[in-house]
């Protein structure tokens, strides 16, 4: 009997996929990578079907939804803008939220740029672990890809193909002794986001550092929040967190940018030498092409494989 109950619970657990929010509020503070300004972020529970919303508490609580509708600048970070109000460098927090499968969170922020912290999504994951996760009553809906959508631009490429689950591949190729060609596959729900992806830090080449500084960017940048590559190696005394930390960070950014779809994706994403601009173009292009996707709850799609088992259970009289 106990075994039968366990089987039924497991089947139901997969078939019924519910939205999630944080169980309690948590605060995280730091400085913005590009602005260098001190900023404090409070991650708060939000009702079902609200999605991720940024709330500028320094601007009378002005709200900007984490949606492709508001994508503004995508050169060195993904920024959102609504009615002239900016939220900058959203991708690492959005990556942590998507990686931990949080659907509805109110992000209260007292400045325009998210804190860079250690350059990865790990501090956000740790804060979210402290806050805890609460399951909500509403079913989670997904954007399921029906037709391939592809963006290619000067040797860079990103595509999403139909698939029964979300699977992601990232390939990068930099002529550097520590990078060269790297390829990483990540399957959410199978691979561990918190361990495999979240700790990978942002990186840049030392030649770029001066150029970016002159453009008024990376005012808050340091070896504490980025891997800096020299011609031969890295400037950071402690070295890398993973041999392929660069490719892992690109995957981290991709997961964060895809969160701007507003719902989790079901499809196979392949990115080659892409970046924020291409990630954002894919999101916008996919949503615009209405015949390329449909909205499904998980029960209608990846769990199809479970149906024969459910039928078996019914036949054996368990249900």
- The residues binding Zn ion (CB under 5 A) are 202, 253
Whether 34 is catalytic is no
Q: b/e string for 151-172 if b means 16 or more Cβ within 10 A?
A: beeeeebbbbeebebbbbbbbb
| Residue 76 vs 293, nearer CB to Zn ion | 76
| Residue 203 vs 293, nearer CB to Zn ion | 203
8 A C-beta contact, residue 170 and residue 292:
no
**Residues 6+ positions from 262 with CB-CB distance below 8 Å:** 51, 65, 66, 67, 68, 143
Of 34, 249, 276, 279, which one is the catalytic site residue? 276
Coil, strand or helix at 221: coil
**Residues 6+ positions from 67 with CB-CB distance below 8 Å:** 51, 80, 260, 262
| Residue 200 vs 265, nearer CB to Zn ion | 200
Residue 298 main-chain phi, psi, to 5 deg = -60, -30
| Residue 91 vs 103, nearer CB to Zn ion | 91
Do β-strands 167-174 and 180-186 pair in parallel, antiparallel, or remain unpaired? Answer: antiparallel
Which helix or strand (DSSP H or E) is residue 14 part of?
helix 2-15
Q: Which residues belong to the active site? A: 276
């Amino acid at each position: 009997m106990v075994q039968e109950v366990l089987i039924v619970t497991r089947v139901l657990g997969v078939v019924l996929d519910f939205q999630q929010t944080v169980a309690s509020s948590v605060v995280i503070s730091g400085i913005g990578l590009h602005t260098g300004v001190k900023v404090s972020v409070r991650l708060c529970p939000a009702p079902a079907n609200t999605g991720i919303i940024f709330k500028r508490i320094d601007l009378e609580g002005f709200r900007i939804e984490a949606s492709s509708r508001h994508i503004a600048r995508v050169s060195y970070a993904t920024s959102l803008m609504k009615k002239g109000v900016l939220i900058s460098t959203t991708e690492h927090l959005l990556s942590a939220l998507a990686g931990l499968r949080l659907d509805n969170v109110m992000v209260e922020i007292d400045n325009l740029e998210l804190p860079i912290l250690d350059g990865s999504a790990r501090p956000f994951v740790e804060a979210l672990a402290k806050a805890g996760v609460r399951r909500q009553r509403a079913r989670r809906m997904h954007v399921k890809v029906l037709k391939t959508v592809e963006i290619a631009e000067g040797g860079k490429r990103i595509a999403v193909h139909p698939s029964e689950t979300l699977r992601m591949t990232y390939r990068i190729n930099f002529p550097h002794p520590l990078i060269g060609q790297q390829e990483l596959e990540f399957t959410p729900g199978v691979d561990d986001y918190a361990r495999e992806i979240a700790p990978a830090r942002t990186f840049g080449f030392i030649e770029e550092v001066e150029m970016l500084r002159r453009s008024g960017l990376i005012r808050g940048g340091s070896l504490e929040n980025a891997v800096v590559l020299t011609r031969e190696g890295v400037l950071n005394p402690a070295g890398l967190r993973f041999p392929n930390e660069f490719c892992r960070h690109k995957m981290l950014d991709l997961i964060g940018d895809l969160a701007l779809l507003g719902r989790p994706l079901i499809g196979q994403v392949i990115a080659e030498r892409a970046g924020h601009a291409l990630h954002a173009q894919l999101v916008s292009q996919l949503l615009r092409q209405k015949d390329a996707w449909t909205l499904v709850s998980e029960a209608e799609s990846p769990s199809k494989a479970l149906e024969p088992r459910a039928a078996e259970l019914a036949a054996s009289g368990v249900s």
